[in-house]
Structure 1
């Protein structure tokens, strides 16, 4: 469905970041690449083998305990976990993160129609900020207001409610665009209209 039809009668649209505006794997795989390069430099282990293992593990099993699995596979000292975690927070990516084409067009249309755009994102605040800084926004960054749920230590529903209150809006004047059950549940807690990002296309 044309994304703007969802937002035509809304004044605010709220987005999550990962797998809504861009694929989270585009960030993670670059972090894994940088980690593999670091290990090759320090330990003289083949970076191609390491990134190949990490990519396959991520694609088959997800990111859970990927450091532990990689450390076991390549006999890495557990102290490298700190380097791995720091890379998630401050990595300088080789390539900019690119918005999904449908979401880029949707955001551009929202700006043209003078709708307010908010991002309410979960996860490590430093990591999420690093993603935002390294995303190619095509000039849209000046129209974004961002809230980090973990930094505020608040459930998303409470942040959504605060956005409504501060903008003097009713539930029907806001749309939440997410990618998972948590986003949907948090929206429903305060009766906000919700759609998954995959429903939006041009």
Structure 2
């Protein structure tokens, strides 16, 4: 059964943000670009070299310790960590974030079928909100209800259950779309049906 058929009898669909609705790297690489430009302006160090280094480190080893590695490589003061962190929260991106094409089509079908759409996202709430504000939603934004786990200080499972309770629904009325084992585990805690976003991408290939 494909993802949309699975959603047909559901009343609400719950999504994560990063690597579900759009690639997380599309935000992070633009943050790194802006940071590299800032360092070039303040320290007269080559922005392209910094960006190339950060991209390779991120793609090879992820985000852990990325600032420290970059600072060590290019002789940057520890005080620039503040600027690096702040950009993650409030960067004004050169380019809008674009939804995965197949996910956009899926969301549009959900709206046509009058499904309720929720986003429950982890991570720094200010950063996640910044991503949402700079995403090209193609008019879908008015159909979204968003919850930030860090802001509410609740687990995803708790928020899922509150969504069900507030809408007088049971687990069989909902579907969670995620991209990792954590999302799957949180869904299973309250017996919510779960699919990985890849199943939706495959529907439209």
What TM-score does the superposition give when structure 1 sets the normalisation length? 0.99
Partner of 2:54: 54
Partner of 1:81: 81
Partner of 1:12: 12
Once the two structures are superposed, the pairs formed by residues 118-129 of structure 1 within 5 Å of their partners are 118-129=118-129
Aligned-residue offset at 1:6 = 1.7
Partner of 2:132: 132
Unaligned runs of 5+ in 2: none
Q: Aligned pair 1:26/2:26, yes or no?
A: yes
Q: Aligned pair 1:185/2:164, yes or no?
A: no
Q: Distance in 2 between matches of 1:28 and 1:111?
A: 29
Contact 1:96–1:135, Cα closer than 8 Å, also in 2: yes
Q: Distance in 2 between matches of 1:37 and 1:2?
A: 44
Partner of 2:68: 68
Partner of 2:145: 145
Q: Aligned pair 1:97/2:92, yes or no?
A: no
Q: Distance in 1 between matches of 2:109 and 2:63?
A: 34
Q: Distance in 1 between matches of 2:2 and 2:110?
A: 12
Partner of 2:156: 156
Partner of 1:173: 173
Q: Distance in 2 between matches of 1:77 and 1:99?
A: 36
Q: Distance in 2 between matches of 1:33 and 1:66?
A: 14
SS of corresponding position for 1:63: coil
Cα RMSD (Å) of the superposition? 0.7
Number of equivalences: 202
Aligned-residue offset at 1:4 = 1.6
Unaligned runs of 5+ in 1: none
Q: Distance in 2 between matches of 1:199 and 1:113?
A: 19
Contact 2:157–2:189, Cα closer than 8 Å, also in 1: yes
Contact 2:3–2:195, Cα closer than 8 Å, also in 1: no
Partner of 2:108: 108
Q: Distance in 2 between matches of 1:173 and 1:49?
A: 51
Aligned-residue offset at 1:2 = 4.4
SS of corresponding position for 1:13: strand
Partner of 1:36: 36
SS of corresponding position for 2:85: helix
Instruction: Give 4+ residue runs of structure 1 displaced > 3 Å after superposition.
Output: none
